[in-house]
Chains A and B, each alone.
Chain A
Amino acid sequence: MDSREIVEVIDLNILGQVCPACLLVVLKALNDHQERLRSGKTRLVVRTDHRDSTRTVPESARKMGYEAQVKKVDTYYEISIGRKH
């Protein structure tokens, strides 16, 4: 993925929340920013420390037609969701 294409990052901090509540939060954000995310100009970056979310969130995002990447950062996970290339 070319980072120069990204003009905006929506940061979603759900540290401390557990699944499936955090999934609902992410889904809400995906619904709210649907158009911007689909345009490819925006990416949603979710920070979570709940391990289950690293499975359920990317799975659901992919079903909705997005591309999702999971990265381990220090004590939490960073899930980056955006338009499929």
Chain B
Amino acid sequence: MSQPDENPPSLLAVRLAELEAANQAYVRYIREKTNQLLEVMGTRALESEELDEEALIEMDPIGIVAQSFQQILAHLNQTIEELQEAKAGERELREFYLTEKMKLATLIESLSEGLLVLDEQNRVVSCNRAADEITQWLATDSLGKTLEALFPEMEAVLRKNACDLQSFELTFRSRQGADRLLSANVTRLRDSEGRAAGRVVTFRDSTEEKRRTELFHRTEKLAAIGQLSAGVAHELNTPLGSVLGYARLLLKDKTLSPAQRAWAEIIAEQVKKSSGIIQGLLRFARQSNPARRCLEQCRINEIIKLTLPLLATEMAKRKIELETDLQPLPPIIGDPRELEQVVLNLTMNALQAIGTKGRVRITTRHAGSRVVMKVEDNGPGIAEQIRSRIFDPFYTTKPLGEGTGLGLSICSGIVSDLGGTLDVTSVEGQGATFILSLPAATEASAELGKSDSRQAARRMGAGRE
């Protein structure tokens, strides 16, 4: 029989030792993994005295840190969602701003007014199509240039005025050398915090508008003076008729002494002169003209050719050369006699302006639907300050007795009745150019001309009866 081992370990003790070893291994594992996790959390490892084994197991640090990681993960997911939402919002916002930008760009480009955006140093940073068209710049020409280089006059105005400007006028010389009148507005540009960030300049070409306004005023003045003249002429005609009648009656009286007869003759003669002046006034007022106006298709070149020989003697006497450049033209509707008067008047004016020795040039062109005649002289020109008055009735620069001041106003009236315009350009000391523009006859207007002509003829016939 075998003897049992001395002090054999009991099964329980073995089991306890095994459990103890497993426990130790478990604690080591927990401590090791906890330390790894704590390192990830950004803190140092656990010291052995910090948490004893029992406390460590009871605390379940791996569970705690794992749960914390879950919270970190949830937080990260939430942050990602927020970022995605923000990104989607940003995309929407960006699309909105892009659409708005496009709208604004289209709006700016479709403006009929010129628009310049200037930076703080008054350099052009943006320029729309209308600005290029009005100023005849090229888009690349203006960008980056200073306002002083492009618009010296505007720069001078802005230097004097720090605040916004509304509807100020300035002249501008285009590439072709033509002076244009611009009406401009200037507004200060501010950034989102209200700091000055430059200026916005808008401008439009008001040359034509100004010309139309002047024409309108001229026509109004002419109409007012015409009405007044017609009234005065009408009132004076009756008493003058009586005076003339009685003077003639007196002249038939055989008993008059020679002196009395001479006086009566003077009275009759002076009344006739007065009557002549009144006829002139009536002609100016055109009270007598419409009935006599005979509208028909006329060729302006032929009218010029017919009229100029009348001035040949005068030209030779004054040593003035005449140049003509007459291009083929369509017909116009007008009264040939009135048009002769216009050509004669304009040429005569040129001759009188030159005095002696000079040159007059008459040119005709077909421009779109209009016929344009230019009478150009190399005389002294017309001073800027009187340029707007030369079409006024009775305004003359000629010496007393040499001109009535009615020529240009009558011409202007005739041309305006025919739907045309009469303009003048002049550089002082370098002559003047009168530009006559009349609508070319279309089939419809030609018919109208014929019918007007027939009506005028009927009126004249009725008048004779």
**Chain A residues close to B by CB (< 8 Å):** 18-21, 23-24, 27-28, 30-31, 34, 52, 56, 59-60, 63-65
CB<8 Å pairs between A and B, sample of 6 = A20-B43, A20-B46, A23-B41, A23-B43, A52-B43, A63-B72
* Complexed CA–CA distance, A56 and B420 (Å): 93
| Residues of chain A contacted by B38 (CB below 8 angstroms) | 20, 23
Q: How far is the CA of A23 from the CA of B45 in the complex (A)?
A: 11
A18-B47, A21-B46 given; 16 more Cβ-contact pairs under 8 Å: A18-B50, A19-B43, A20-B44, A20-B46, A24-B34, A24-B51, A24-B61, A24-B64, A24-B65, A27-B68, A28-B59, A28-B64, A31-B67, A31-B68, A60-B41, A65-B72
Given contact pairs A27-B68, A28-B64, A65 touches B42 in the complex (Cβ within 8 A): no
CB within 8 Å of A: which B66-111 residues: 67-68, 71-72, 74-75, 78-79
Given A20-B50, A24-B59, A24-B61, A56 and B43 contact (CB-CB distance below 8 Å): yes
Query: With contacts A21-B50, A63-B72, A64-B72 known, is A31 near B45, CB below 8 A?
Result: no
Alpha-carbon distance A34/B64, docked complex (angstroms):
12
B residues contacting A by CB (< 8 A) are: 34, 38, 41-47, 50-51, 59, 61, 64-65, 67-68, 71-72, 74-75, 78-79
Main secondary structure of the interface of B (DSSP, over half): helix
A36 to B59, CA, bound (A): 22
Report A55 CB to chain B, min CB distance, Å: 9
Chain B residues contacting A56 (CB-CB under 8 Å) are 41-43
Residues of A within 8 Å of B59, CB to CB, are 24, 28
Contact of B45 with A20 in the complex, beta carbons under 8 Å: yes
Alpha-carbon separation in the docked complex, A65 to B43 (Å):
18
For the complex, give the distance between the alpha carbons of A15 and B416 in Å. Answer: 106
B108 nearest CB across to chain A (Å): 43
Residues of chain B contacted by A60 (CB below 8 angstroms): 41-43, 68
Scoring A19, A20, A28 by chain B CB atoms within 10 A of each residue's CB, the highest score goes to A20
Say whether, besides A21-B50, A56-B43, A59-B42, A27 and B65 are in contact (CB < 8 Å).
yes
Across-interface contacts of B68 in A (CB, < 8 A): 27, 30-31, 60, 64
